[in-house]
Structure 1
Amino acid sequence: MTKYVMWGSYCEGVLEKREPYRKAHLDGLAKQKADGVLVTIGPTKDVTKVFGIYEAESEAAVRQLVESDPFWENGIWTEYEIKEWIQAF
């Protein structure tokens, strides 16, 4: 399968605004990890950006995962981009 990286941005006041959606968000990520599609994901230390690595059939499959996440649906993630990634090491 192909690897993809996802970079995204968080909304202002993310720590407070994410609370109602955080459990559903984390549960969904845990399922993606168990299914083998999510390699890793997390925020930058300053909680302004999110970075993830996916292993999926297509970029469209990754976009579907991102756009069905409660953080995207509720404006916690405000933008994102996905790039196919070639892992050198």
Structure 2
Amino acid sequence: MPKYILFGSYCENALEKRTPYRQAHLDGLSKQKEQGILITLGPTKDNTKVFGIYEAENRETIKELIENDPYWKNGIWTDYEIKEWIQAF
């Protein structure tokens, strides 16, 4: 199954602004992990970017997951890019 990487950006003051949406965000990620779609996801140390690795049938599946995430819907994530990834090692 293809693997995809996510690169995205956080809004300014994301640590404060994410608070009302954090539990729903984490619950959704846990469900994706249980389903075997999400491999890993997290912010950069300075909390300006998000990086993730997914495994799914197609790019549209990942796009739908991102755009239904509370962080995207509420402006915590401000942009993103999905690329198919070839895991060499």
TM-score by length of 2: 0.99
Per-residue deviation at 1:4? 0.1
Runs (5+) with no aligned partner, structure 2: none
Per-residue deviation at 1:40? 0.2
1:28 match: 28
Deviations 1:34-57 (A, max 9, x none): 000000000000000000000000
1:17 match: 17
Cα distance in 2 between the residues matched to 1:7 and 1:34: 22
Give the 3-state SS of the residue equivalent to 2:20 in structure 1: helix
- Regions of 4+ moved over 2 Å: none
Q: Which amino acid aligns with 1:84?
A: E
Q: Does 1:85 align with 2:85?
A: yes
RMSD of aligned Cα (Å): 0.2
Q: Percent identity?
A: 70
TM-score by length of 1: 0.99
In the alignment of these two chains, the number of paired residues is: 89
Give the 3-state SS of the residue equivalent to 2:33 in structure 1: helix
Q: Does 1:4 align with 2:4?
A: yes
Per-residue deviation at 1:88? 0.2
Cα distance in 2 between the residues matched to 1:39 and 1:15: 23
Q: Which amino acid aligns with 1:35?
A: Q
Cα distance in 2 between the residues matched to 1:57 and 1:75: 27
Cα distance in 2 between the residues matched to 1:2 and 1:62: 11
Q: Which amino acid aligns with 1:11?
A: C
Runs (5+) with no aligned partner, structure 1: none
